[in-house]
Amino acid sequence: MCIKAVIFDLDGVIVSTDDFHYQAWKQMSDEEGIPFDRETNQRLRGVSRMASLEIILEKSSRSYSDTEKAELAARKNQFYKEKLANLTTCDVLPGVKNLLAGLKRQGVKIAVGSSSKNTPYILERIEMQDYFDAVADGNQISHSKPDPEVFLLAAKLLGIPPQNCAVVEDAYAGIEAAKAGGMFAVGVGFAQTCPQADLAAPDLDHVELKSIVNLKR
């Protein structure tokens, strides 16, 4: 079997925190009078907090110093964390638990590979902090998706070569990162239309266990 590990993106794959990100950025942008809409929000999927802020500031009528940018990002994160406080186990997306359990039964390692610095808090909220064999997140990396760093770190923590890993992602930047790391890529949600994906589905409820573990070059 070629696939020995599956690395899951968090936001938009395990749990739907993507709309919380949108609402929190929108709240911050409205306060600053910066135009921000759902179309621009799609460009923020999978990318780091500061890179997201730079995309939002493209539409700003004034420039911000580095100190001001840090304050804007902190303010957005505060709004975001207030929303995360309401997350429960019911917010785990359809098909997640089933697929994870199936992979475990087959001896396939499972990991999280997320750009989010809030990963430990989110996993705690959905009571999955002890569920994965490894967690790689935004706190441990210096290059965010589409750079493969977070996925390569997850593979390293698992002790599995990248060519034996599949990544499940909802962001084009994440699919790009998986391919740049020499891994298979499964596109779900927004990324199901990504041409680079090796497999695609609307959500994990529609991903068959055997279609992932049988991925081949």
Of the residues 4, 21, 125, 179, which one makes contact with ligand B16 according to CB under 6 A: 21
Among 93, 142, 153, residue whose Cα is nearest residue 117: 142
Helix (H, G, I), strand (E, B) or coil at 202: coil
User: Residue 21 and residue 204: Cα distance in Å, rounded?
Assistant: 21
Residues 69 and 71: their CA atoms lie apart, in Å, by 5
| Binding test (CB under 6 A) with ligand B16, winner from 46, 148, 181, 187 | 46
Tell me the number of residues near ligand B16 by CB under 6 A: 20
Residue 157 or 208: which CB sits closer to ligand B16? 157
Q: Which of 84, 156, 60 is nearest to 113 (CA)?
A: 156
Terminal CA-to-CA distance of the chain, rounded, Å?
Answer: 12
- Among 117, 124, 190, 203, contact with ligand B16 (rule: CB under 6 A): 117
Q: Which residues bind Mg ion (CB under 5 A)?
A: 9, 11-12, 46, 170-171
Q: Which of 99, 114, 148, 177 binds ligand B16 (CB under 6 A)?
A: 114
From 44-52, 97-105, 185-193, 202-210, span contacting ligand B16 (CB under 6 A): 44-52
Query: Where do runs of H (alpha helix) occur along 58-158?
Result: 66-84, 96-105, 119-125, 149-158
Concerning whether 19 is annotated as a catalytic residue, the answer is no
Active-site residue flag, 9: yes
Q: With 0-12 CB in 10 A as exposed, 13-18 as middle and 19+ as buried, what is 105?
A: exposed
Report the partner that residue 48 touches, choosing among ligand B16, Mg ion, none (CB closer than 5 to 8 A by kind). ligand B16
Closer residue to ligand B16 in complex, CB, 44/201? 44
- With binding defined as CB under 6 A, does residue 49 bind ligand B16? yes
Positions marked active-site: 9, 11
**Which chain residues interact with ligand B16 by CB under 6 A?**
9-12, 21, 44-49, 52, 77, 114-118, 138, 171
